[in-house]
Amino acid sequence: MDGVPRRAPPTHRCSARDGPEDLADARTELAWALDAFDTIQKLLGPERAIGYEDAVAYFKVHVAEKRTWGFARLFMDRKTPSVSVPLAAEQVAGLASGHDVTSGPLGWSTITLDNASQVGELAEMFRASYAAVRKAKGKEQ
Protein backbone atom coordinates (compact mmCIF):
# COMPACT_ATOMS: atom_id res chain seq x y z
CA MET A 1 0.00 0.00 0.00
CA ASP A 2 1.26 3.50 -0.79
CA GLY A 3 -0.41 5.16 2.23
CA VAL A 4 -3.11 6.91 0.18
CA PRO A 5 -6.63 6.41 1.58
CA ARG A 6 -8.76 4.25 -0.70
CA ARG A 7 -11.84 6.37 -1.25
CA ALA A 8 -13.40 7.91 -4.33
CA PRO A 9 -10.63 8.67 -6.86
CA PRO A 10 -10.14 12.27 -8.00
CA THR A 11 -11.46 11.61 -11.50
CA HIS A 12 -12.27 15.27 -12.13
CA ARG A 13 -8.62 16.29 -11.79
CA CYS A 14 -7.10 13.70 -14.12
CA SER A 15 -7.87 12.32 -17.50
CA ALA A 16 -6.54 9.55 -19.71
CA ARG A 17 -4.32 12.16 -21.41
CA ASP A 18 -2.61 13.10 -18.13
CA GLY A 19 0.75 11.58 -17.31
CA PRO A 20 1.55 9.46 -14.26
CA GLU A 21 2.91 12.49 -12.40
CA ASP A 22 -0.48 14.24 -12.74
CA LEU A 23 -2.26 11.25 -11.24
CA ALA A 24 0.30 11.06 -8.41
CA ASP A 25 -0.17 14.78 -7.66
CA ALA A 26 -3.96 14.38 -7.60
CA ARG A 27 -3.70 11.42 -5.22
CA THR A 28 -1.42 13.41 -2.92
CA GLU A 29 -3.81 16.39 -2.95
CA LEU A 30 -6.75 14.13 -2.16
CA ALA A 31 -4.80 12.43 0.63
CA TRP A 32 -4.05 15.83 2.22
CA ALA A 33 -7.70 16.85 1.99
CA LEU A 34 -8.93 13.54 3.42
CA ASP A 35 -6.45 13.79 6.29
CA ALA A 36 -7.73 17.32 7.00
CA PHE A 37 -11.33 16.06 6.84
CA ASP A 38 -10.54 13.27 9.33
CA THR A 39 -8.98 15.85 11.66
CA ILE A 40 -12.02 18.14 11.41
CA GLN A 41 -14.33 15.18 12.06
CA LYS A 42 -12.39 14.34 15.25
CA LEU A 43 -12.37 17.99 16.36
CA LEU A 44 -16.14 18.29 15.97
CA GLY A 45 -16.92 14.99 17.65
CA PRO A 46 -19.66 12.44 16.95
CA GLU A 47 -22.48 14.84 17.86
CA ARG A 48 -21.69 16.96 14.78
CA ALA A 49 -21.90 14.63 11.77
CA ILE A 50 -20.15 15.91 8.64
CA GLY A 51 -19.52 14.93 5.05
CA TYR A 52 -17.34 16.09 2.20
CA GLU A 53 -17.33 16.73 -1.50
CA ASP A 54 -14.16 16.91 -3.58
CA ALA A 55 -14.87 19.81 -5.95
CA VAL A 56 -12.54 20.96 -8.72
CA ALA A 57 -11.45 24.20 -7.01
CA TYR A 58 -11.60 23.09 -3.36
CA PHE A 59 -12.52 20.32 -0.94
CA LYS A 60 -15.87 21.14 0.67
CA VAL A 61 -16.79 20.04 4.20
CA HIS A 62 -20.53 20.14 4.91
CA VAL A 63 -23.14 19.14 7.45
CA ALA A 64 -23.88 15.44 6.96
CA GLU A 65 -26.72 14.68 4.55
CA LYS A 66 -26.88 18.38 3.57
CA ARG A 67 -24.43 18.85 0.70
CA THR A 68 -25.38 22.51 0.26
CA TRP A 69 -24.69 23.32 3.93
CA GLY A 70 -20.95 23.81 3.51
CA PHE A 71 -19.12 25.17 6.53
CA ALA A 72 -15.52 24.92 5.30
CA ARG A 73 -13.60 24.90 2.05
CA LEU A 74 -10.14 23.39 2.13
CA PHE A 75 -7.45 24.48 -0.30
CA MET A 76 -4.74 21.98 0.64
CA ASP A 77 -3.20 21.54 -2.80
CA ARG A 78 -1.75 25.02 -3.04
CA LYS A 79 1.72 26.29 -2.24
CA THR A 80 0.14 28.02 0.75
CA PRO A 81 -2.69 25.88 2.14
CA SER A 82 -5.78 27.68 3.40
CA VAL A 83 -9.25 27.15 4.82
CA SER A 84 -12.31 29.31 4.11
CA VAL A 85 -15.36 29.50 6.35
CA PRO A 86 -18.66 31.43 6.07
CA LEU A 87 -17.91 33.71 9.02
CA ALA A 88 -16.86 37.36 9.28
CA ALA A 89 -13.11 37.96 9.41
CA GLU A 90 -13.47 39.73 12.76
CA GLN A 91 -15.04 36.64 14.29
CA VAL A 92 -12.56 34.26 12.69
CA ALA A 93 -9.54 36.32 13.80
CA GLY A 94 -10.25 35.39 17.42
CA LEU A 95 -10.57 31.70 16.54
CA ALA A 96 -7.70 31.31 14.06
CA SER A 97 -4.90 30.52 16.56
CA GLY A 98 -2.75 33.37 15.30
CA HIS A 99 -3.00 32.53 11.59
CA ASP A 100 -3.56 35.28 9.02
CA VAL A 101 -7.22 35.91 8.21
CA THR A 102 -8.58 37.76 5.17
CA SER A 103 -12.10 38.69 4.14
CA GLY A 104 -13.43 37.01 1.05
CA PRO A 105 -16.50 37.28 -1.14
CA LEU A 106 -20.00 36.71 0.20
CA GLY A 107 -19.00 36.83 3.86
CA TRP A 108 -16.45 34.03 3.72
CA SER A 109 -13.09 34.44 5.47
CA THR A 110 -9.86 32.68 4.57
CA ILE A 111 -7.28 31.45 7.05
CA THR A 112 -3.77 30.96 5.67
CA LEU A 113 -1.79 28.01 7.00
CA ASP A 114 1.93 27.22 6.85
CA ASN A 115 1.12 23.56 6.13
CA ALA A 116 -1.89 21.27 5.90
CA SER A 117 -1.25 19.69 9.31
CA GLN A 118 -2.21 22.98 11.03
CA VAL A 119 -5.91 22.29 10.39
CA GLY A 120 -5.97 20.72 13.85
CA GLU A 121 -5.26 24.12 15.43
CA LEU A 122 -8.62 25.50 14.24
CA ALA A 123 -11.06 23.47 16.36
CA GLU A 124 -12.98 26.44 17.76
CA MET A 125 -13.28 28.01 14.33
CA PHE A 126 -14.70 24.83 12.81
CA ARG A 127 -17.19 24.50 15.69
CA ALA A 128 -18.30 28.13 15.23
CA SER A 129 -18.64 27.71 11.47
CA TYR A 130 -20.62 24.47 11.83
CA ALA A 131 -22.96 26.11 14.36
CA ALA A 132 -23.41 29.23 12.21
CA VAL A 133 -24.39 27.20 9.14
CA ARG A 134 -26.87 25.08 11.12
CA LYS A 135 -28.36 28.20 12.71
CA ALA A 136 -28.63 30.00 9.36
CA LYS A 137 -30.43 26.99 7.90
CA GLY A 138 -32.81 26.81 10.88
CA LYS A 139 -31.37 23.91 12.86
CA GLU A 140 -29.31 25.07 15.80
CA GLN A 141 -26.85 22.79 17.50
Residue 112: pLDDT above 90?
A: yes
Write the DSSP symbol of residue 28. H
Which residues are within 8 A (CB) of 114 and not within 5 positions of it... i.e. 6 or more apart?
80, 81
Mean pLDDT for the stretch of residues 12-28: 49
DSSP 62-122: EETT-TT-EEEEEETTSSS-EEEESS-HHHHHTTSTT--EEE-GGG-EEEE-SSGGGGGGG
13 or 42, higher pLDDT: 42
Domains along the chain with CATH numbers:
15-136 (3.90.1150.20)
Which band of pLDDT confidence, cut at 50, 70 and 90, is reported for residue 25?
low
22 or 10, higher pLDDT: 22
Separation between Cα atoms, residue 134 and residue 71, nearest integer Å: 9
Residue 19: pLDDT above 80?
A: no
H or E stretch including 52? strand 50-54
Residue 18: pLDDT above 80?
A: no
The pLDDT of residue 79 is 81
